[in-house]
C-alpha cells in the first residue's frame, strides 16, 4: 500500500503545517511529522495490519473503509 497525497490535498497539508508551526513550534511539528510517517511506515510494512489510527478513524477512514 502506498500513501498518496493528491494534488488538491497538498495545499491542505501545507496549510496544516503552517498552522501547526505557528501554534506549536518547528521542533514540535518535526516530532509530530516523524510520528505520523512512522505510523504510515508501520502500516505499509504490515506491522499494524487492521490497525486504526485514531485521528483517521475519527474521520471515518479505517483499514476496512471503501475508497
**Which segments within the chain are labelled E, that is strand?**
none
The mean pLDDT value for 7-19 works out to 84
Residue 58 to residues 18, 25, 61, Cα–Cα distance (Å): 23, 25, 7
The percentage of residues in the chain with a pLDDT greater than 90, rounded to a whole number, is 0
pLDDT one-digit tens code per residue, 25-49: 888 888 988 888 887 787 777 676 6
Helices (H), the chain: 7-23, 26-44, 54-57
Give the start-to-end residue ranges of the domains of the chain.
25-67
Q: What's residue 54's pLDDT?
A: 79
pTM value?
0.49
Q: What's residue 24's pLDDT?
A: 84
Amino acid at each position: 500500500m502506498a500513501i498518496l497525497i493528491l494534488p488538491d490535498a497538498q495545499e491542505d497539508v501545507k496549510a496544516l503545517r503552517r498552522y501547526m508551526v505557528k501554534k506549536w513550534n518547528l521542533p514540535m511539528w518535526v516530532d509530530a511529522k516523524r510520528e505520523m510517517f512512522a505510523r504510515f511506515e508501520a502500516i505499509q510494512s504490515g506491522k499494524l495490519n487492521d490497525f486504526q489510527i485514531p485521528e483517521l478513524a475519527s474521520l471515518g477512514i479505517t483499514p476496512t473503509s471503501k475508497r
